[in-house]
């Protein structure tokens, strides 16, 4: 039975077509996925269905919800539908929840507004809702505030809010993108259960093919505001007909191969690094206080190697990166690079530090928005004793920008003129310009789409050869780490729990935690891909 049917939906903002002739329908009890890379208009589709489009936009087409066309509904009429009939789950639960209200209150408030029931009844319903999404109210009290919960717990609260009014359609916009793999698989499981039990229709918006292959029955693939391909998920994956689908599948499944190690010469050695933050602020999570962030971390990096560090958020991997770079003081431990210590008598030796650079995760905040690219890229020259001048500097800048696959004319532009992928290239250009030995990539590819990722991996491998670089690749994504690293360290709670050759570790994990990480990582079923490969490779 069709619940929602979108027919020839088009949206224009300032005469620019954002959505072009979108048509699809969703049945009760079905998970329908919208797949697309960032900027493909998939979130815009969700906003159009809830009629929360920006004011100056123009919408055409029909949106049939239970056979009535909500495209013509007034804002007042939509208020009765939003929340009670159609509800939404967002990507970032911290910003979607009100930080000043307890979680129980936020759920019961929705209930009171829409159902006109009294406070006690609403509170009880809120309790039931929380229990239902797996938050045991004896352990997680409804009186807690959002900041006292973990990311996964917050997302559960969001889901509880979304389903509290027993809506018919739930729109989940990248619901697990901000979460760890382990939490991700739990949340996906929860969503599946809710859909099955309540016969909700779920519109899942994501860029991750693996998630789609795991939970959605049907899928529509979007690009540039239009649906290119749609159908049953399994058919689409097994026999992709549209070239773009094939390209996406190829991007998601092509595994770059890590470059084999040529030498076993140690380039960098880190020994017994420890750090404890002294927290003065009371956090709700008791055991987080005064727990060491890094505990006795020791490892080496070989010449030309790509070393992966994998762990969930909060395991200390970013602190490790910052400690290595000397951005955070450590309690104990030494870092030795190319035969000389990076810190000497608690002062950073800039000559040695010049051999290390870092690329950050967020391509949008890692550049000063007021500086042109040439100035951004030339910033590391500050580390050199003899700074290159005029002509020499110009040549260095030009080489760096061309080496990362951008144009010389880009040097005059400003960061906001580039897309996320291009910005990460600029970040790499900034890192390579003074020819370092090691580059730390702190979740550097996490914010990018699959296609862009593959290009970046290729670029990193090329640069590694050209510049004789070693990488420390920090990520929470095991598939990604598998694709690019030679060796891997698994981190948990500030400790290295397992280390070794990447393929060995992933194939035969020894540690319980590693196994858990690997098993929670969603992947496209192997038998779906066997048939798609020859077509994709054509």
Partner 1 sequence: MNLNQFSITKQNGILKFSFWVGLSVFLFITCLSVLSIVWTPYDITFLNISEKLKPPGSPNHLLGTDHFGRDITSMLMLGAQTSLLVAFMATFIGLVVGIPLGLLAASKARSPVDDIIMRGNDLIFAFPALVIAILITAVFGPSMINAIIAIGIFNIPVFSRVTRGAALSVFTRDFILAAKVCGKNNFQICMEHILPNITSILIVQTSIQFSLGILAESALSYVGLGTQPPMPSWGRMLADSQTMISFAPHLALAPGIAIILVVLSINTMGDSLGDYLDPKLRKNKS
Binding-site member from 367, 471, 473, 513 for partner 1 (CB under 8 A) = 367
Supply the minimum distance, in Å, between the C-beta of residue 373 and partner 1.
11
Do β-strands 218-223 and 226-232 pair in parallel, antiparallel, or remain unpaired?
antiparallel
- Region from 56-64, 267-275, 370-378, 443-451 binding partner 1, contact rule CB under 8 A: 370-378
Q: How far is CA 94 from CA 131, 314, 332, in A?
A: 20, 16, 34
Q: Which CB contacts under 8 angstroms, 24+ apart, belong to 125-129? A: 125/164, 126/160, 126/164, 129/160, 129/161, 129/163, 129/164
4 or 434: CB nearest partner 1: 434
361 or 485: CB nearest partner 1: 361
**Are the C-beta atoms of 172 and 180 separated by less than 8 Å?**
no
28 or 371: CB nearest partner 1: 371
229 or 442: CB nearest partner 1: 442
Count of residues near partner 1 by CB under 8 A: 35
- Region from 115-123, 181-189, 205-213, 367-375 binding partner 1, contact rule CB under 8 A: 367-375
Supply the minimum distance, in Å, between the C-beta of residue 252 and partner 1.
28
Residue 395 contacts partner 1 per CB under 8 A:
no
DSSP state of 480: H
Q: What residue spans of 60-146 are helical by DSSP H?
A: 75-81, 93-96, 103-115, 119-132
Order of all β-strands in the sheet with 68-69:
16-27, 2-13, 57-65, 68-69
d(CA 483, CA 308): 10
Supply the minimum distance, in Å, between the C-beta of residue 379 and partner 1.
5
Binding-site member from 298, 365, 419, 519 for partner 1 (CB under 8 A) = 365
How many Cα atoms within 13 Å fall on the side-chain side of residue 451? 12
Residue 408 contacts partner 1 per CB under 8 A:
yes
Tokens of 38: 């960032």
243 or 369: CB nearest partner 1: 369
- Region from 152-160, 204-212, 381-389, 467-475 binding partner 1, contact rule CB under 8 A: 381-389
Supply the minimum distance, in Å, between the C-beta of residue 380 and partner 1.
5
258 or 325: CB nearest partner 1: 325
Angle between helices 420-432 and 390-403 (to 10 degrees): 130
DSSP string, 359-424: E-S-TTTSS-TTS-HHHHHTGGGGGSSS---HHHHHHHHHHHHHHTT--GGGGGS-GGGS-HHHHH
Instruction: Restricting to residues 414-453, name those near partner 1 by CB under 8 A.
Output: 414, 416-417, 427, 430
Positive/negative CA dihedral, 132, 134, 137, 143: negative
Binding-site member from 183, 366, 470, 502 for partner 1 (CB under 8 A) = 366
Binding mask of the shown chain, residues 142 to 161, with x at each position contacting partner 1 by CB under 8 A:
--------------------
Binding-site member from 8, 68, 285, 382 for partner 1 (CB under 8 A) = 382
Nearest to 127 by CA among 141, 115, 116: 141
Instruction: Restricting to residues 300-339, name those near partner 1 by CB under 8 A.
Output: 322, 325, 327
How many Cα atoms within 13 Å fall on the side-chain side of residue 517? 29
263 or 382: CB nearest partner 1: 382
Query: Site residues (CB under 8 A) for partner 1?
Result: 322, 325, 327, 348, 350, 353-354, 356-358, 360-362, 365-372, 376, 379-383, 408-409, 412, 414, 416-417, 427, 430
């Amino acid at each position: 039975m069709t619940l929602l049917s979108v027919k020839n939906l088009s949206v224009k903002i300032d005469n620019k077509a954002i959505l072009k002739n979108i048509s699809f329908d969703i049945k009760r009890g079905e998970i329908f996925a919208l797949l697309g890379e960032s900027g493909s208009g998939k979130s815009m589709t969700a906003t159009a269905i809830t009629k929360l489009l920006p004011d100056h936009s123009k919408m055409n087409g029909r949106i049939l919800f239970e056979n009535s066309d909500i495209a013509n509904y007034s804002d007042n009429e939509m208020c009765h539908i939003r929340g009670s009939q159609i509800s939404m789950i967002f990507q970032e639960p911290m910003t979607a929840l009100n930080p000043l209200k307890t979680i129980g209150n936020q759920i019961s408030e929705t209930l009171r507004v829409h159902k006109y029931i009294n406070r006690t009844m609403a509170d009880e319903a809120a309790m039931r809702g929380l229990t239902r999404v797996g938050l045991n109210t004896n352990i997680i009290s409804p009186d807690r505030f959002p900041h006292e919960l973990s990311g996964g717990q917050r997302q559960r609260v969001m889901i509880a809010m979304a389903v509290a009014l027993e809506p018919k359609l739930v729109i989940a916009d990248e619901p697990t993108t901000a979460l760890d793999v382990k939490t991700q698989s739990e949340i996906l499981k929860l969503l599946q259960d809710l859909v099955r039990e309540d016969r909700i229709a779920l519109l899942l918006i994501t860029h991750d093919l693996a998630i789609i292959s795991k939970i959605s029955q049907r899928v529509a693939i979007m690009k540039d505001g239009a649906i290119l391909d749609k159908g049953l998920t399994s058919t689409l994956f097994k026999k992709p007909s549209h070239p773009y689908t094939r390209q996406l599948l190829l991007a998601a499944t092509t595994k770059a191969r890590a470059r084999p190690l040529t030498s076993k010469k140690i380039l960098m050695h880190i020994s017994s690094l420890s750090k404890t933050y002294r927290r003065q602020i009371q956090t709700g999570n008791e055991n987080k206080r005064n727990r060491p962030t890094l505990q006795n971390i020791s490892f080496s990096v070989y010449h030309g190697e790509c070393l992966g560090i994998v762990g969930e958020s909060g395991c200390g991997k970013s602190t490790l990166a910052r400690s290595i770079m000397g951005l955070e003081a450590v309690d104990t431990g030494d870092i030795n690079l190319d035969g000389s210590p990076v810190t000497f008598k608690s002062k950073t030796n800039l000559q040695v530090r010049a051999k290390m650079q870092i690329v950050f995760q967020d391509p949008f905040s890692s550049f000063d928005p007021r500086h042109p690219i040439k100035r951004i890229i030339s910033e590391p020259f500050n580390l050199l004793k003899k700074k290159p001048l005029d002509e020499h500097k110009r040549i260095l800048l030009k080489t760096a920008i061309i080496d990362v696959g951008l144009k010389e004319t880009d040097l005059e532009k400003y960061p906001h003129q580039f897309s996320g992928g291009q910005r990460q290239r600029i970040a790499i250009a900034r890192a390579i310009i003074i020819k370092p030995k090691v580059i730390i990539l702190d979740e550097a590819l996490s914010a990018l789409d699959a296609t862009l990722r593959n290009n970046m991996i290729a670029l990193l491998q090329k640069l590694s050869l050209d510049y004789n670089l070693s990488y420390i690749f920090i990520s929470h994504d095991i598939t990604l780490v598998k694709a690019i690293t030679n060796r891997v360290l698994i981190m948990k709670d500030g400790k290295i729990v397992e280390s070794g050759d990447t393929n060995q570790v992933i194939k035969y994990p020894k540690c319980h935690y590693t196994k858990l990480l690997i098993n929670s990582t969603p992947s496209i079923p192997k038998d779906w891909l066997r048939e798609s490969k020859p077509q994709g490779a054509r």
